[in-house]
A and B are shown apart, each in its own frame.
Chain A
Amino acid sequence: MFYNILPAFIVGGLICVIGQLLMDLTKANITPAHVLVIFVTSGVILGGLGLYEPLVRIGGAGATVPLSGFGNTLAQGAIAGAQEKGFLGAFSGGIEAGAVGIAAAVLFGYLTAVVFNPKG
């Protein structure tokens, strides 16, 4: 049960290092929002090219937990949808695959923002 935790640590850590280098080494002001957009978009592109799945096979959660993994999920869904339903599936597949994540984020985000009050 624990054999896959170390690979998750290493792969996940390395993906986060890429984000840190983006923020520290680029001249333009790269905010966390930019980093997240860059990660999700690269995840979709890498996933579409079939280059992200090997990373998931090696790193497990180390590749799926970073936001690039969400991008990969969207791409895999769009491809699966295109295979099954053609053009219409290409439209619906991505959001269908990402639905659990999006719904969880909206629900939990909303409830937390309602229950808690800003600190300071």
Chain B
Amino acid sequence: MKEIRELYNKRGEKMNQSNLRPPTINLTPKEYKEITQRISPKPKVLKNVIMAFLVGGLICSFGQILINFYMNYTGLSKIAAQMAGTASLILLGALLTGLGVYDKIVKIGGAGGIVPVTGFANSMVSPALEYKREGYVFGVGGKLFTVAGPILVYGIVTSIIVGISYSIINWF
């Protein structure tokens, strides 16, 4: 109600019974945007940040436990253990997405669930499952790369630029 009264004031019109209804319907897109922006709740930044820290931290600690395990009990080198740990987390992220659990983790942890490599696995499986009925080629096969595609494109292009820059600098 307060928002509507302010709107009338802004337009320089009086707010009374006879013209109460139309202006709320004939909102210009700009006015509508202003009002929804003011009414919609601000995201609870502090709470989101704390949850992202906790969830992201827990996933990374679990990754560290896996890496420690691979180094101490299977005799892998540090780099091989890191790769094995990453692959295990990807498997876990994919499985939890299939079971419908990972979406809840993202709901609780926000970026804490998205940024780790488990979230990368989630970003592949989630659209592939959703569009499964479109078949195994365009559905599963194609949608696996809805988010992973851009990630690989930008990651690989930037890494080639880094490698070439390094070669050029070393040339001189």
Contacts and interface: CB of A to CB of B under 8 A. Distances in A.
Do the two chains bind?
Answer: yes
Interface of A: 1-2, 4-6, 8-25, 32-33, 35-37, 39-41, 43-45, 47-48, 59-62, 64-71, 74-75, 77-79, 81-83, 86-87, 89-91, 93-95, 98, 100-102, 104-106, 108-119
Interface residues of B, number: 77
Contact of B115 (A47, A67, A119): A67
B159 A118 contact: no
A8 B151 contact: no
A69 B67 CA distance: 14
Contacts of A68: 115
Please classify the interface of chain A as helix (H, G, I), strand (E, B), loop, or mixed, using the class held by over half of its residues.
Answer: helix
Contacts of B106: 32
A71 B59 contact: no
Given A65-B117, A100-B87, A13 B159 contact: no
A55 B87 CA distance: 21
B132 A117 contact: yes
B7 interface: no
B166 A48 contact: yes
Nearest to B127: A113
Interface in B143-169: 144, 146-148, 150-152, 154-156, 158-160, 162-167
Nearest to B147: A33
Interface string B87-126: 1011100110111100000100111101111011101110
Please classify the interface of chain B as helix (H, G, I), strand (E, B), loop, or mixed, using the class held by over half of its residues.
Answer: helix
A81 to B, nearest CB: 6
B163 A17 contact: no
B90 A14 contact: no
Interface of B: 43, 45, 48-49, 52-61, 63-68, 72, 82-83, 85-87, 89-91, 94-95, 97-100, 106, 109-112, 114-117, 119-121, 123-125, 128-130, 132, 136, 140-141, 144, 146-148, 150-152, 154-156, 158-160, 162-167, 170
Contact of B144 (A101, A110, A118): A110
Contacts of B156: 74, 94-95
A50 B87 CA distance: 24
A17 B64 contact: no
A78 B158 CA distance: 10
Contacts of A93: 159, 163
Given A32-B147, A67-B117, 7 more contacts: A62-B60, A64-B86, A65-B63, A77-B159, A86-B167, A108-B95, A113-B125
